[in-house]
Structure 1
Amino acid sequence: MHDKPRIEEALDVLRAELEVGRSTTELTTRAAWLAFMRFARLRFATAPTPDSDGLLFQYGTYAFSGRPMFTVDLTRQFDISDDGGEHDHYVQIHCELRYECEPALDALGSSNSWFFQNANAGLDEWLTAMEGHLELLMARVPSEVDVYEEPV
């Protein structure tokens, strides 16, 4: 028996981290990032394969909800295996932070970066590098926050 949380608990774990001591209406980018870093450092009960537990940091201006918004998507991806231990699908846990478009944000363009817990060393270095992309946003409160899980 291990004491790592199960993958099925990941969405609730992230939501709990995001809500520690605040309501979502006062959730700054900095608070969301700190919550995501705590979530990223927590190891879940995953298979010991290189791509079983991945972190994705991505941003850009997108119109997913109908109108263009600058979106920062903080994602954790888990490999889900079938009963025989073979890959079946992935589950992604997202924390999307959306901001009204403005020239300074649009000028950032878009970017994405992956980190895999079982394949890469240096999680803290990766998190520090990703945090550098958020400099313009740290003190801001996103216009919208969406926390959800999806199979991919």
Structure 2
Amino acid sequence: MLILATRDVLVSMLADAGVNPDAMTSADVRTTVEVFRCFAGLPVDGVAPPEEDGDGVLAQFGTYDFRGRSEFSTDLTRQFVEAGDEDAPMWQLSCTLYWPAGAETESLAFGHLWSFGKTLDEFFAKAGALPGWAWALDCLEGPQDLVITLAEL
């Protein structure tokens, strides 16, 4: 798979798992993480290896107003650095879930974790234990939005 195809592949995998970005349920959060875990193990052509920090996953969470209103978000991002010289392009494929912000989510603060130096199993176990991700995985309220983006940095 090429970097430019990664978004379509992830969207297709989520659809195959029954995740509808326009009607997210609380159960879809766990399914989204499981699908992303499978997606993170797929090879991508032309990417530097993980030991060179060329292919890694970032889990993050927090309350932000990036979209013009205060929202709590959890995010899984797969970062790709094209193989080649030091100035090789970097890409990020982000899968972000949004909930309305509130006192409970504000108390979670924010945090992040990179997969570099960890197996995917270790990473996803630790990511799921981050306060914001633990809340999202146990939340009875489905996210209001799921946004998947691929961007060159």
TM-score clears 0.5:
yes
The aligned length equals 142
Equivalent residues of 1:59, 1:70 under 8 A apart: yes
Aligned to 1:17: 13
Partner of 2:88: 88
Q: SS at the partner of 1:34? A: helix
How many Å separate the matches in 1 of 2:56 and 2:42? 12
Instruction: Name the CA shift for 1:132/1:140 in 2 (closer, same or farther; >3 Å).
Output: farther
Please give the per-residue CA displacement for 1:45-73, whole angstroms capped at 9, x wherever unaligned: 22336111011111100000000100111
Aligned equivalent of 1:75, options 77, 80, 103: 77
Q: Distance in 2 between matches of 1:22 and 1:33?
A: 11
1:91 alignment partner, SS class: strand
Partner AA of 2:62 in structure 1: G
Check conservation: 1:56, 1:113, Cα contact below 8 A. yes
Secondary structure in 2 matching 1:136: helix
* Structure 1 residue 79 displacement after superposition: 0.5
What do residues 90-134 of structure 1 show as CA deviations (whole Å, max 9, x unaligned)?
110011101011222111110011113xxx242201111111232
Equivalent pair of 1:55/1:114 in contact (CA under 8 Å): yes
Specify whether residues 121 and 111 from structure 1 end up closer, same or farther in structure 2 by C-alpha distance, changes over 3 A only: closer
2:125 alignment partner in structure 1: 128
TM-score, L = length of structure 2: 0.84
Change in CA separation of 1:107 and 1:115 when aligned onto 2, cut-off 3 Å? same
Aligned partner of 1:98 in structure 2 is: 98
What amino acid is the match of 1:127?
A: F
Whether contact under 8 Å (1:29, 1:140) holds in the other structure is no
One-letter amino acid of the structure 2 residue matched with residue 65 of structure 1: R
Shift in CA distance, 26/73, structure 1 to aligned 2, threshold 3 Å? closer
| Structure whose residues are more often strand by fraction | 1
Aligned residue in 2 for 1:109: 109
More helix by share: 2
- In structure 2, distance between residues paired with 1:23 and 1:145: 9
Counterpart Cα distance in 2 of 1:126 and 1:22 = 23
SS at match of 2:5: helix
Relative to the length of structure 1, the TM-score reads 0.84
> Deviating runs (4+, > 4 A) in structure 1?
none
Structure 2: state its 5+ residue gaps: none
